[in-house]
Amino acid sequence: MASIVFEQVTKSFDRTAIIRDLDLTIEDGKFTVLVGPSGCGKTTLLRMIAGIGPQTSGRVLIDGKDVSRVAPGQRGVAMVFQNYAIYPTMSVRENIEFGLKNNKVPKEERKRLVESIGETVGLSGLLDRKPSALSGGQRQRVALARAMVKKPSVFLMDEPLSNLDAKLRVQMRVELIELHKKLGTTFVYVTHDQTEAMSMADTIVLMNEGVIQQMSSPAEMYHRPANRFAAEFIGLPPMNIAELGPDGVQLGFRPESAALSEEPLDHHLCIRGVIATREMLGSETIYQVRTDKQAYMVRSAEDRFEVDRPVYVGVPAEKLHFFGADGRRIDERSSDVRWYLEAARGLVYA
Amino acid sequence: MKTMDLRYAKLTLSAVLKAVVLMIFVFPFLWMVSTSLQTLQETTTVPPTFVPAVPQWNNFVHAMQAGPFLTYARNSVVVTAAILVIQFVVMIPAAYAFAKYRFAGHRLLFGLVLLAFMIPGQVTFIPVYLMLADWGWIDTLLPQIVPFLANAFGIFLLRQYFMQIPEELVESARLDNASEFKIIWKLMTPMSRPALATIALFSFVSHWNEYFWPLIMTNSNSVRPLTLGIAMLRETEGITNWHIVMAGNVVLVIPILIAYAFCSKWIVKAFVYSGIK
């Protein structure tokens, strides 16, 4: 178990800084998910922890120890790669054993460890197979077993589920949560999928263009996004954003916070529009409501509106978010919020 | 019906073409084997004999007894084996470094490797000969081995192959606390067997069949390879003993055929290789 600290870390590729003066503390024993669009620097952070893509400047500390000059194999970390990186010429057993052999673990103990891990991840009967004879899900398990067998203090995972089919992905998500609970080790997980981040994380670190946008629990990030980027990245469909006034303030509401009706609604915000598209997903329906200015997404448990029907979209005051011209969240306790709420009421006639 | 006819015609044509190409390649071998079993008289008759009246197995005995055949064979084996082993020791780490490391001057150095394999050997023969003569190496096995220890073509081919191996595998091995030597030995080499087999075969054939270089580098039979020994079978008393020469050549070719039979599976893999999934 170990905490990870980044101190004033900069990483450049060919003199272009991808990450600049970043400070971040990843708590001991927590399941931390680094999430963001591709190219945001999340994998770069992970590789710095592993030591396979060291920082250009600054310090990385694992368990309080500066590991900047420690070789990847000596850091006490294990990593699961997106494409699993299983050694194709070695059997499953040899794959799992490779790290132990390099760490000079005696043969008897190796055998015992490999077999017990094989059982844990459900590979018992497959230990002597070559990776080419395994399915995607089984390869994934080999990669996990290979990481687990070393008993690392930090688990690093780089989009480990992205090559699995949707059903298996959901199953593995649950298994990873259970694994984390069982091991109690620090997990650092990289993904671009906000659903994965929301469902698995104790703490989400949301990144964009090498800068941390918000670091908080999934609930906090969903209910109180720190800025427009967070508001639009987390949530599916993303938060609706609309211009509010001349000072660049914007208003936002989640598709699931809005109600739809054929009659004008008594909600704080009430917008009139026409249903442009309708996606029936079974348990819910997602509508796109178009006004003369823009379109809003609305998620509804009911499926009773047809395309081209005029409707009203209503949102209660407590479900409204406000963002300043700089994109940052305007705190609901701020004195300006009352003024913005009034302005939002005015949108009825817009 | 017409389309069926057309299909058969196409198939027949393709079979005939294949047979022609096959004959072009196989004929010289058959001719060599046939001549090696003929009498001197049969080799000179017109029209030429293809199937000898009585196979002259004695030709092989003659070929081997005409000179210090075992010495020649030993020299060929020592020279070729030494070249192959040392080439691999030099080539694998070099290719790995060029494929997976970004060190200062790597482009320049790789350029030099390419240059080495682009310059025709003839250009360097004389300066290398003079240098080795200066060192007193003429008439030893060393000049037949040392100039060939680095295989520029092999480094190039193997580098390309290594570059196709995903970076994550190397990184994963580093996280598994494997040394660079272990990564090369346990990971890169087993994954590159097809390329290594191809390089080994090409190198083996070219050095086993080397003629010109040993010819100018040797003065005595004790350091001559098989190729020179067989060439010397040709002239006795002004007549060319084609049947004996060909018997020697059959012996010379056998190891190559064995090597090819052993490597062909891997060579095909090396050329149809389309990435590791």
Best residue in B172, B184, B186, B192 for a mutation probing chain A (most A CBs within 10 Å) = B172
Assess whether pLDDT exceeds 60 at residue A186.
yes
φ, ψ dihedrals at A303, nearest 5°: -125, 60
Examine residue B205 and state whether it is found in any structural domain, yes or no.
yes
User: What is the band of A130 on the pLDDT scale with cuts at 50, 70, 90?
Assistant: very high
Q: Which domain holds residue B127?
A: 67-232
Examine residue A251 and state whether it is found in any structural domain, yes or no.
yes
User: What is the band of A350 on the pLDDT scale with cuts at 50, 70, 90?
Assistant: very low
Examine residue B80 and state whether it is found in any structural domain, yes or no.
yes
Can you tell me the mean pLDDT for A59-76?
93
CB-CB contact of B224 with B218 (8 Å): yes
CB-CB contact of B260 with B275 (8 Å): no
CA A266/CA A296 separation, integer angstroms: 19
- Among chain A residues, CA nearest to B189: A89
Biggest alpha carbon–alpha carbon distance for chain B: 77
| Full-model pTM | 0.82
The ipTM, to two decimals, is 0.86
Can you tell me the mean pLDDT for A43-59?
94
Examine residue A65 and state whether it is found in any structural domain, yes or no.
yes
Examine residue B12 and state whether it is found in any structural domain, yes or no.
no
Contact residues for A88 (Cβ-Cβ < 8 A; gap 6+): A130, A131, A132, B191, B276
Statement to judge: residues A179 and A121 lie in one domain: no
Angle between helices B69-100 and B152-164 (to 10 degrees): 40
A236-258, pLDDT tens digit by residue?
A: 899 999 988 778 899 999 999 99
Examine residue A85 and state whether it is found in any structural domain, yes or no.
no
Instruction: Work out the mean pLDDT of chain A and round it to a whole number.
Output: 91
A297-319, pLDDT tens digit by residue?
A: 999 998 889 999 999 999 999 99
Examine residue B266 and state whether it is found in any structural domain, yes or no.
no
**Domain containing A285 — which CATH number?**
2.40.50.140
Examine residue A193 and state whether it is found in any structural domain, yes or no.
yes
Rounding to the nearest 10 degrees, give the CA dihedral for residues A194, A196, A202, A208. -30
Statement to judge: residues A249 and A289 lie in one domain: yes
Examine residue A132 and state whether it is found in any structural domain, yes or no.
yes
Can you tell me the mean pLDDT for A179-185?
92
Statement to judge: residues A18 and A70 lie in one domain: yes
Give the rounded percent of residues in chain A with a pLDDT score beyond 70: 98
- Residue B276 pLDDT: 44
- Residue A289 pLDDT: 95
Q: Which domain holds residue A263?
A: 237-349
- Residue B56 pLDDT: 86
Q: Tens of pLDDT along chain B (277 residues)? A: 567 788 888 889 999 999 999 999 999 999 999 999 998 888 888 888 888 888 889 889 888 888 888 899 999 999 999 999 999 999 999 999 999 998 999 999 999 999 988 888 888 889 999 999 999 998 899 999 999 999 999 999 999 999 999 999 999 999 999 999 999 999 999 999 888 988 998 899 999 999 999 998 998 889 999 999 888 887 665 677 888 889 999 999 998 888 888 888 777 776 665 444 3
φ, ψ dihedrals at B235, nearest 5°: -100, 115
Statement to judge: residues A333 and A267 lie in one domain: yes
**CB contacts, 8 Å: A74 with chain B:** 177
Examine residue A81 and state whether it is found in any structural domain, yes or no.
no
Statement to judge: residues A292 and A204 lie in one domain: no
Examine residue B237 and state whether it is found in any structural domain, yes or no.
no
Of the residues A151, A182, A201, the one at which a domain ends = A151
**Domain containing B84 — which CATH number?**
1.10.3720.10
CA A103 to chain B, closest CA, distance in angstroms equals 7
Number of domains forming the structure of chain A: 3
CA A338/CA A344 separation, integer angstroms: 10
Number of domains forming the structure of chain B: 1
Beta carbons of A102 and B176 less than 8 Å apart: yes
Statement to judge: residues A121 and A209 lie in one domain: no
CA B133/CA B218 separation, integer angstroms: 11
Statement to judge: residues A138 and A277 lie in one domain: no
How many angstroms from the chain centroid is the CA of residue A52?
A: 22
- Residue A98 pLDDT: 95
Assess whether pLDDT exceeds 90 at residue A263.
no
Beta carbons of A98 and B174 less than 8 Å apart: no
CA A136/CA A121 separation, integer angstroms: 14
DSSP A331: P
**CB contacts, 8 Å: B171 with chain A:** 50, 52, 72, 79, 81, 85
Statement to judge: residues A276 and A335 lie in one domain: yes
Residue A300 pairs with which residues in a beta bridge?
A285
Examine residue A30 and state whether it is found in any structural domain, yes or no.
yes
CA B96/CA B154 separation, integer angstroms: 12
Statement to judge: residues A288 and A247 lie in one domain: yes
Statement to judge: residues A163 and A43 lie in one domain: yes
- One-letter identity of residue B274: S
In chain A, which among 222-251 make CB contacts under 8 A with chain B? none
Statement to judge: residues A255 and A339 lie in one domain: yes
Statement to judge: residues A248 and A328 lie in one domain: yes
**Domain containing A10 — which CATH number?**
3.40.50.300
Examine residue B1 and state whether it is found in any structural domain, yes or no.
no
CA B147/CA B90 separation, integer angstroms: 13
Examine residue B161 and state whether it is found in any structural domain, yes or no.
yes
Examine residue B204 and state whether it is found in any structural domain, yes or no.
yes
Examine residue A227 and state whether it is found in any structural domain, yes or no.
no
